[in-house]
C-alpha cells in the first residue's frame, strides 16, 4: 500500500517526551479554544445574515437554518442570542437584520476568512478545500497569526 501524501512529507524523528506547559498557560490555551468555538457559531450566523441581506435583501430564519444545515428551532434560538448580544434585530414578517455592531462583526469575519483562504491558496491548497478549511481556521486563528498571514501574503505579492 502506498504511503499517504501526508505521511511521506513528514520528517520522522525520534519520539521524545513533551514537557507540559504550566497549568495556567495550558488552561488559558484551552479556554481560548472554548471561547473561539462559542464565538464561531455567532460569527457564522452574522456572516450568513449579512450575505443574505446583500444578495436578496432579506434573511429569514428558514433560509438561515437551511443554509447552515440546522433545524429551524436551532436557528431561532441562535438568532435570539444574536439579539441579546446586540448583533441583530428581528422584525415580524420581515426577517433578521444586523445592528451596526453586527455589520462590523460580519465585515471583520469576512476579512479574516479572505486572508485565511488567500494564504491557503498561496501554499497550494486547492480552491474548494481552502474555502472549506477557512471556515474553521478563521474563527480560531489569533490576531497575531492573522497579521503574520497578511504580511506573508504581502511579501508574496511583491516578489
Per residue in 49-87, pLDDT tens?
Answer: 999 999 988 999 999 999 999 999 999 999 999 999 999
Q: Where are the beta strands (DSSP E) in the chain?
A: 88-91, 95-98
Q: Mean pLDDT of all residues in the chain?
A: 86
Partnered with residue 96 across adjacent β-strands are 90
pLDDT-above-90 percentage for the chain: 62
0.85 surpassed by pTM: no
Produce one character per residue of 33-61: b if its CB has 16 or more CB atoms within 10 Å, e if not: eeeeeeebebbbbbbbbbebbeeeeebbb
Domains of the chain: 32-103 (1.10.10.10), 105-158 (1.10.60.10)
Lowest mean pLDDT among 20-29, 92-101, 104-113, 133-142: 20-29
Closest CA to 60 of 132, 135, 68: 68
Task: Give the per-residue pLDDT at 24.
Answer: 81
Cα-Cα end-to-end distance for the chain:
40
Amino acid at each position: 500500500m502506498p504511503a499517504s501524501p501526508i505521511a511521506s512529507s513528514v520528517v520522522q524523528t525520534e519520539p521524545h517526551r513533551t514537557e507540559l506547559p504550566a497549568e495556567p498557560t495550558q488552561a488559558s490555551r484551552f479556554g481560548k479554544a472554548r471561547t473561539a468555538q462559542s464565538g464561531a457559531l455567532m460569527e457564522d450566523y452574522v456572516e450568513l445574515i449579512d450575505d443574505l441581506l446583500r444578495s436578496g435583501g432579506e434573511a429569514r430564519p428558514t433560509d438561515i437554518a437551511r443554509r447552515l444545515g440546522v433545524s429551524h428551532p436551532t436557528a431561532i434560538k441562535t438568532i435570539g442570542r444574536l439579539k441579546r448580544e446586540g448583533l441583530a434585530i428581528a422584525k415580524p414578517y420581515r426577517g433578521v437584520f444586523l445592528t451596526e455592531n453586527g455589520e462590523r462583526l460580519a465585515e471583520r469575519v469576512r476579512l479574516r476568512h479572505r486572508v485565511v483562504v488567500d494564504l491557503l491558496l498561496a501554499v497550494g491548497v486547492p480552491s474548494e478545500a481552502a474555502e472549506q478549511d477557512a471556515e474553521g481556521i478563521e474563527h480560531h486563528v489569533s490576531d497575531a497569526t492573522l497579521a503574520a498571514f497578511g504580511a506573508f501574503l504581502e511579501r508574496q505579492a511583491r516578489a
